[in-house]
Amino acid sequence: SVQLTPYLNYFPNYIYLNPTPQYKEGLQLYYYTQARVLRWGFEASVSWKILPCLRLDADGEYLYARQLSGEKKGYGLPFSTPWSARAELRYLLPTQDPAKSGFVALEWQVVGTQDRIVPPEEKTKGHQLLNASIGKKFMLGGNSFELTLRGENLLGKRYYDHTSYYRLIGVPEPGRNFSAMVSWMF
């Protein structure tokens, strides 16, 4: 299946936090302002069942924003997301009983460099992440459970999220991390 969702927005009085070059106690100061703003972009996704037990899912998004008035006319909006894409290859463990299904998945995530910035914002370099997960459903005492183990940023990439305030004070996103989740269906 393929899905494409384009959008176009015009805001005559878009209110947002405008960055200033001033800092107080190590944090950048902002003030609220408004401007006429045009935003457009799209979200897209593709899902392909390659084999009965193998599926490829991919999705991506793109946003373009431009201020049409105000002191920063011609610039984008602060903290605008850069383009991003994700692809996941998922192997479904063969089983006759859907209540005992399982999977193994590998995910590649790519985020572009954000260079359409609003002064005094700084550019944020793009990054790529490798994630993996494994999950299994099982029955216990008449109840259905699902156990999922997930590893994110498996290569330990140091990166910053352009939409994060922590980026401004030099705090990167989490490094290599692992999580376990148990779901109980009732």
Cβ atoms of 19 and 65 closer than 8 Å: no
| Residue 174 structure tokens | 């989490």
Question: Is 168 strand, coil or helix?
Answer: helix
**What's the pLDDT at 95?**
87
Residues in the chain: 186
Whole-number pLDDT of residue 172: 97
Question: Residue 176 has what pLDDT?
Answer: 98
Per-residue confidence (pLDDT) for residue 146, from 0 to 100 = 95
Contact indicator for 143, 184 with CB cutoff of 8 Å: yes
Query: How much is the pTM?
Result: 0.89
* Mean pLDDT, the chain cut into blocks of 10 residues (186 residues total): 98 95 88 97 98 98 98 95 98 87 98 95 96 94 93 98 90 97 91
Q: What pLDDT is attached to residue 186?
A: 80
The per-residue pLDDT for 169 is: 84
What one-character DSSP code corresponds to residue 126?
-
Residue 101 to residue 137: CA distance in whole angstroms: 5
Structural domains of the chain, with CATH: 2-185 (2.40.170.20)
Q: Which residues contact 121 (CB under 8 A, 6 or more apart)?
A: 19, 78
pLDDT of residue 140: 85
What is residue 160's predicted lDDT score, i.e. its pLDDT?
A: 97
